[in-house]
């Protein structure tokens, strides 16, 4: 008859002992608990058998624990042991037997239970077989089984040796000791065994981690197994970070994201196992020139959107979904390789924009303009771009894929009213068609006769006196006297510039920057012919109201430099820009240190949300005339430095993501910027060739009345800024730009 299970737990931490008890509750009838090896010796002296020892080991107590185990083997026979630690256990490998295990704290519940059950089941089978063959009792069989082989016995620890009844037999113990395995400090060779897993092939590796295909030998399951290199095993920050990543990934429960099974440590190697998805990625399929129909691509978008929302709401930090990490399994269902890094810090707005761009790039190779669903094509075309209607956020993608039902949540009476109105509206349509046809001609005539938007003279300059001012974090910087444009350069101003270059093409050589790319032969802004025509007629451009007094947009740094040179000035350094904006007092906003949302054209109301309607705070969803919001005025009388469009400066600095690349800085916020609204915010362009619809510029001069480049006569320049013949000149190819707020550049020492 089998006796009750007796487990001895040794750990200074009462809380950790409690965790072990809770894991094995229902499997163990009798727990003995001690905080030290000496205390455990007192508890175990009268025992005739022990089912298992579970002990915490560390650099101070580990030797005593292993010595105690050896003495208990001499006294009561063999029992399996589990050793747990939050430290590196490499020094103890030589004393671990083949039926014993090492666990990194916190102990994995499922792994400990599985190991406990397998050990008990194996021992019962062995003892039962021996008893049936020899006719001996279970107790005598166990005793005899313990005398078949020998290993040396260590000396007892000091506190045990002093006990009156610690006279230890010198005969050897009957257990085979497992020799320590010498594993490499980095990637493991194929064929290595880690607990229940055998490494079959290497999938990928980097400087700190390796990913393998492995077989879980007990059940024959193939898994992906990620290891942290042994070189990090003594660094608790690396180990804990790895465990935290595994724990966070294991907590993910989303149908589109691959699973994580368990985390463990073996021979100094921390590892965890994941679902092995044996399927090609979008990257693989694109490389093979495979075709995917629209239904699969819609599934990819939907799964990615749903997974991104799930991870954001769960507060998970994760890597971007890429073409390499989106897999297409059997049945053409998308599966995303688990991207979680840990808990906290979901994607930033800039990372969300980048995610949209990367996701669009992953799907684009499978789009065919002639057969692709136009709705799908439109969504992909809007993702991660510089369009006014761009999809640059997780929420934006969710809404694009799941537009809200205007009738959702309405009561029955409200729905009845809407139905009645729709019926009435339909009835009126036929009756009004004739009337509309009659008045259509009248309306058209009125529109043709209506006055075009007024072009105002907005080329005033404001004097900024010489002297010191607090730059960035308060460092006093002294600047000489200069004049700065009171307003941003307008569409009308820039049209005059293009018209003059058309009349005097030789000036292009005089205004060209020495490092301007040779392939750039035109200073015509991105989509100039479209938005200039809309502005002069008072119409919309990309859904936004625009007129000739709005800031010029779609210009790169070379364009801004050329205009400033032509106008008899230059671009402001960021120090000049900041002094004009913050004044001698160094205020955070042009008007002071408190944010006044209605004072400037910002992205706080760029899009309609649950809290705000587009344009409801400052009156503008997109651009506004440069003199529309006079409250955005600095102490020196400069208008529009806080918002409307960001502004190019003459200062270049290191790109935050590419240390070997120098790029121009832009200052100020725009109608699309919702964060980093302070005047101290510094932003790096992707390149001097970057063009978008939320960046413009203003100029500075060293004299009060700058003159246009000699030889021009604006009064004689053609009114149409397009080349002769009425056709627009070929625009320079724009660099793909960031949307919203570009990552701020870390403050650097002023140039």
3-state secondary structure 172-206: CECCCECCCCCCCCCCCCCCCEECCEEEEEEEEEC
The rounded percent of the chain whose pLDDT value lies above 90 is 38
634 with 688, same domain: the answer is yes
80 with 13, same domain: the answer is yes
In a domain, 14, yes or no: yes
In a domain, 749, yes or no: no
200 with 134, same domain: the answer is no
In a domain, 238, yes or no: yes
Number of domains in the chain: 4
- How far, CA to CA in Å, does 264 sit from each of 107, 277, 677? 8, 21, 47
198 with 345, same domain: the answer is no
Rounded CA separation 399/390 (Å): 12
Among residues 106, 423, 397, which one has the least CA distance to residue 239?
A: 106
- How far, CA to CA in Å, does 58 sit from each of 39, 85, 92, 104, 231? 17, 6, 9, 11, 19
Rounded CA separation 390/421 (Å): 33
Rounded CA separation 340/75 (Å): 50
CA 581 to chain centre: 33
- 631-683 pLDDT, tens digit each: 999 989 999 999 999 999 999 998 888 878 899 999 999 999 988 999 999 99
| Residue-range definition of the domain harbouring residue 121 | 6-161
253 with 397, same domain: the answer is no
Rounded CA separation 228/209 (Å): 5
Cβ burial 87-98 (10 Å sphere, 16+ → b, else e) = bbbeebeebbbe
- 132-181 pLDDT, tens digit each: 544 433 333 333 332 222 223 333 333 333 333 333 333 333 333 333 44
- How far, CA to CA in Å, does 457 sit from each of 9, 460, 461, 492, 581? 86, 8, 12, 9, 22
Beta-strand ranges (E) seen in 290-406 are 316-318, 326-329, 333-336, 340-343
Rounded CA separation 535/545 (Å): 8
- How much is the pTM? 0.44
Longest dimension (CA), the chain: 120
- 399-446 pLDDT, tens digit each: 888 876 555 555 666 666 666 666 666 655 555 666 666 666 556 555
Residues sharing a CB contact under 8 Å with residue 164, sequence separation 6 or more, in sequence order:
none
pLDDT average, residue stretch 597-624: 90
204 with 334, same domain: the answer is no
71 with 13, same domain: the answer is yes
Rounded CA separation 393/348 (Å): 10
613 with 492, same domain: the answer is yes
**pLDDT of residue 730 exceeding 70:** no
In a domain, 284, yes or no: no
Rounded CA separation 556/317 (Å): 34
- 303-331 pLDDT, tens digit each: 999 999 999 988 888 989 999 889 998 77
CATH number at residue 24: 3.40.50.2300
Residue 500: both structure tokens together: 């003059």
In a domain, 645, yes or no: yes
CATH number at residue 363: 1.10.510.10
Q: Which residues pair with 204 in a beta bridge?
A: 211
Kindly state the DSSP code that residue 92 receives in the 8-state scheme: G
569 with 658, same domain: the answer is yes
Among residues 635, 632, 633, which one has the least CA distance to residue 584?
A: 635
CB distance 260 to 209 below 8 Å: no
In a domain, 33, yes or no: yes
In a domain, 285, yes or no: no
**pLDDT of residue 451 exceeding 90:** no
Residues sharing a CB contact under 8 Å with residue 736, sequence separation 6 or more, in sequence order:
357, 385, 386, 686
In a domain, 508, yes or no: yes
φ, ψ of residue 210 in degrees (nearest 5): -140, 150
Which contacts of 714-722 are long-range, i.e. CB under 8 A and separated by 24 or more positions? 714/496, 714/499, 714/500, 716/503, 717/496, 717/499, 717/500, 717/502, 717/503, 718/499, 718/502, 718/503, 719/499, 720/499, 721/495, 721/496, 721/498, 721/499, 721/502, 721/532, 722/498, 722/502, 722/529
Peptide bond into 520 cis (omega under 30): no
């Amino acid at each position: 008859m089998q006796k009750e299970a007796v487990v001895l737990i040794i750990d200074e931490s009462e809380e950790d002992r409690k965790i072990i008890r809770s894991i094995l509750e229902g499997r163990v009838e009798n727990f003995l608990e001690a905080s030290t090896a000496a205390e455990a010796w007192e508890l175990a002296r009268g025992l005739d058998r022990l089912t298992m020892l579970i002990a915490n080991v560390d650099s101070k107590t580990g030797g005593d624990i292993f010595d105690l185990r050896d003495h208990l083997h001499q006294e009561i026979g063999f029992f399996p042991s589990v050793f747990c630690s939050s430290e590196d256990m490499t020094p103890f490998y030589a004393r671990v037997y083949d039926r014993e295990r090492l666990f990194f704290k916190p102990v994995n519940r499922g792994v400990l239970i599985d190991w406990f059950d397998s050990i008990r089941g194996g021992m019962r089978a062995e003892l039962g077989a021996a008893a049936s063959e020899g006719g001996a009792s279970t107790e005598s069989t166990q005793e005899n089984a313990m005398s078949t082989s020998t290993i040396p016995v260590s000396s007892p620890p000091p506190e045990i040796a002093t006990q009156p009844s610690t006279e230890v037999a010198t005969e050897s113990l009957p257990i085979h000791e497992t020799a320590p395995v010498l594993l490499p400090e980095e990637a493991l060779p194929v064929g290595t065994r880690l607990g229940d897993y055998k490494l079959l092939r290497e999938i990928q590796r980097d400087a700190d981690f390796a990913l393998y295909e492995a077989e879980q030998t007990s059940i024959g399951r193939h898994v992906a197994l990620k290891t942290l290199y042994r070189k990090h095993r003594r660094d608790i920050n690396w180990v804990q970070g790895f465990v935290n990543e595994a724990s966070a990934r294991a907590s993910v429960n989303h149908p589109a994201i691959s699973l994580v099974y368990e985390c463990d440590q073996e021979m100094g190697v921390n590892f965890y196992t994941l679902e092995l998805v044996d399927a090609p990625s979008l990257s693989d399929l694109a490389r093979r020139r495979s075709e995917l129909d629209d239904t699969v691509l819609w599934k990819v978008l939907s799964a990615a959107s749903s997974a991104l929302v799930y991870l954001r709401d769960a507060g998970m930090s994760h890597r971007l979904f890429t073409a390499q990490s989106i897999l297409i399994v059997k049945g053409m269902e998308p599966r995303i390789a688990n991207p979680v890094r840990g808990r906290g810090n979901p994607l930033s707005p800039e990372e969300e924009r980048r995610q949209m761009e990367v996701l669009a790039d992953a799907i684009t190779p499978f789009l065919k303009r002639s057969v692709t669903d136009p709705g799908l094509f439109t969504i992909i075309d809007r993702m991660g771009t510089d369009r006014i209607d761009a999809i640059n956020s997780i929420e934006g993608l969710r809404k694009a894929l799941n537009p809200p039902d205007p009738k959702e949540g309405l009561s029955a009476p409200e729905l009845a009213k809407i139905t009645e109105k729709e019926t009435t509206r339909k009835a009126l349509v036929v009756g009004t068609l004739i009337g509309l046809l009659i008045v259509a001609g009248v309306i058209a005539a009125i529109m043709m006769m209506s006055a075009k938007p007024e072009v105002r003279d907005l080329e005033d300059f404001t004097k900024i006196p010489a002297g010191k001012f607090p730059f960035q974090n308060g460092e006093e910087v002294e600047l000489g006297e200069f004049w700065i444009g009171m307003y941003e350069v307008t569409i009308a101003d820039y049209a005059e510039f293009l018209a003059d270059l058309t009349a005097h093409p030789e000036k292009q050589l005089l205004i060209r920057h020495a490092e301007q790319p040779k392939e750039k032969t035109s200073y015509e802004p991105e989509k100039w012919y479209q938005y200039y025509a809309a502005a002069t007629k008072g119409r919309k451009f990309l859904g936004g109201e625009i007129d000739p007094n709005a800031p010029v947009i779609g210009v790169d740094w070379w364009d801004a430099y050329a205009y400033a040179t032509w106008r008899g000035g230059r671009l402001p350094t960021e120090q000049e820009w900041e002094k004009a904006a913050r004044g001698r007092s160094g205020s955070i906003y042009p008007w002071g240190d408190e944010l006044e949302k209605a004072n400037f054209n910002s992205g706080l109301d760029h899009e309609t949300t649950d809290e705000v309607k587009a344009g409801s705070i400052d009156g503008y969803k997109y651009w506004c005339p440069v003199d529309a919001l006079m409250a955005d005025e600095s102490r020196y009388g400069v208008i529009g430095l806080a918002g409307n469009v960001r502004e190019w400066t003459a200062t270049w600095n290191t790109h935050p993501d590419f240390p070997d690349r120098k790029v121009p800085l832009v200052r100020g916020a725009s109608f699309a910027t919702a964060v980093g609204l302070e005047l101290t915010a510094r932003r790096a362009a992707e390149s001097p060739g970057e063009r978008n619809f939320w960046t413009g510029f203003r100029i500075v001069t060293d004299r009060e009345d700058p003159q246009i480049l000699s030889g021009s006569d604006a009064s004689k320049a053609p009114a149409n800024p397009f080349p002769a013949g009425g056709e627009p000149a070929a625009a320079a190819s724009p660099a793909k730009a960031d949307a919203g707020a570009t990552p701020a550049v870390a403050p650097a020492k002023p140039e």
